[in-house]
Structure 1
């Protein structure tokens, strides 16, 4: 069981203990949360995040965009034209393999976990399955952390409204609809609504009303799935 405990910067520790890599980092970026390295096992991991943030390209960006892992068992053999600036920047870095797994909760794309090894290395199928499970757990923790830290900055009339009994009923109803749309737990469905409201700069009550009125849906239809593979 992974626990944030008191020091969130040490979240990398249980993951590093489970995986055959030399270092890893957990970061947020994209449209939902600001770019930030939450936890890094070493200076190299932090540097890997920093380069990708600064350049706006690299494995973590592709992982988040495609909602799928990016596995580079020999990063030096990756065609330079794919990530031209990133490929140039890592020439002096001690990197053999780089792997990036997206952090997502429902439709919310939160960030990524980057892993590296000093020598070329191929992650095994079991390692990839472990990461798929771990990224779900970490995504929930990271989003909860961001929302918790933002609470003191977003207390106002709209937030007070969400505490009224009628508002709670609407949010509860919307949570049930998101749960059905995505096939996730009630707690995660609530987090999806809360995270979407945070990213949009709106109240949960507003988002809940749109969900109930069917003006907003998080369900992925077949056309969206087909389009993601084009």
Structure 2
């Protein structure tokens, strides 16, 4: 972690994205895992703050696309989720996620909620390339890392959020706006809502389904919607309405 020196103001300065990266890299070494990622979430948004490697980034994208996985469960249930053997434990619970996660290089996954008061607003996720439990000692270290990351993110990126709000509710002019990893998704959801005359929740589900079917990142499809290269239509059937884009 970055060390600061100086007066009292420096001692209490909020951490930056660089410091979050340091936290992730440190926990990888301390608890003997292969990668880590920190994601902030709300009901309809998910922003990757930092990932230590390509596999961690892929796992985050895969969970956003499928709406399944340990991060999703940790966020919604507000408790840690440990999967020591992805192949044997996860296929039944996360059928859209487990096989692709395993093929992507993960064999074990451990997710820790990030909390602001009573509100869960994100997740620290760790993965191993080999199966194995996370010891109680390592789990305690990872939890301390998640707690430190939560405090740092709230102080740095959303100091004005009220009770019951999540980091995903931060305004576009907050520092978080400079680090958004999926800038097109919200715009695309709004456009799909109008095009298909459905709720935003349903629009996001359709967008995710399109990305999963096409084996492409959600933001790629979202960008094409925003650029009017793809259009979601109520005239399309339920099975292909999200994959058959029509120029506007």
TM-score, length of structure 2 as denominator length: 0.57
- Which one of the candidate residues 61, 81, 84 is aligned to 1:73? 84
Aligned partners of 2:16 and 2:156 also within 8 Å = no
Matched, 1:193 2:204: no
Name the SS of the counterpart of 2:126 in structure 1: strand
How far is 1:90 from its partner? 2.2
**Residues 1:44 and 2:44 are matched in the alignment:** no
Unaligned 5+ segments in structure 2 are: 4-14, 172-248
Cα shift at 1:95 = 1.5
Aligned match for 1:17, one of 29, 53, 62? 29
Within 2, Cα distance between the matches of 1:111 and 1:14? 19
Name the SS for the 1:61 alignment partner: helix
Trace 1:114-153 onto structure 2 (pairs within 5 A): 114-147=125-158
TM-superposed CA distance for 1:195, in Å, is 4.4
Give CA-to-partner distance per residue, 1:176-226, whole Å, 9 cap, x none. Answer: xxxxxxxxxxxxxxx66394698498xxxxxxxxxxxxxxxxxxxxxxxxx
Shift of 1:109: 1.0
The answer to whether the Cα contact below 8 Å between 1:64 and 1:109 also exists between their aligned partners in 2 is yes
Per the alignment, residue 90 of structure 1 pairs with 101
CA contact (8 A) 1:75 1:97 kept: yes
Q: Secondary structure at the match of 2:163?
A: helix
SS at match of 1:26: strand
Q: Determine the C-alpha separation between the residues in 2 that align with 1:92 and 1:122.
A: 20
TM-superposed deviation, 1:16: 1.9
Aligned with 2:96: secondary structure?
helix
Instruction: Name the CA shift for 1:66/1:47 in 2 (closer, same or farther; >3 Å).
Output: same
Distance across 2 between alignment mates of 1:30 and 1:6:
20
Q: Aligned in 2, Cα 1:36/1:199: closer, same or farther, shift over 3 Å?
A: closer
The question of whether the paired residues in 2 share the 8 Å contact of 1:105 and 1:136 is answered with: no
CA RMSD of aligned residues (A): 2.8
Cα distance 1:6–1:85, how it changes in 2: closer, same or farther (>3 A)?
closer
Aligned to 1:35: 46
Moved over 3 A (4+): 1-6, 191-201
Take 2:134 and 2:167, find their aligned partners in 1: how far apart are those partners? Answer: 36
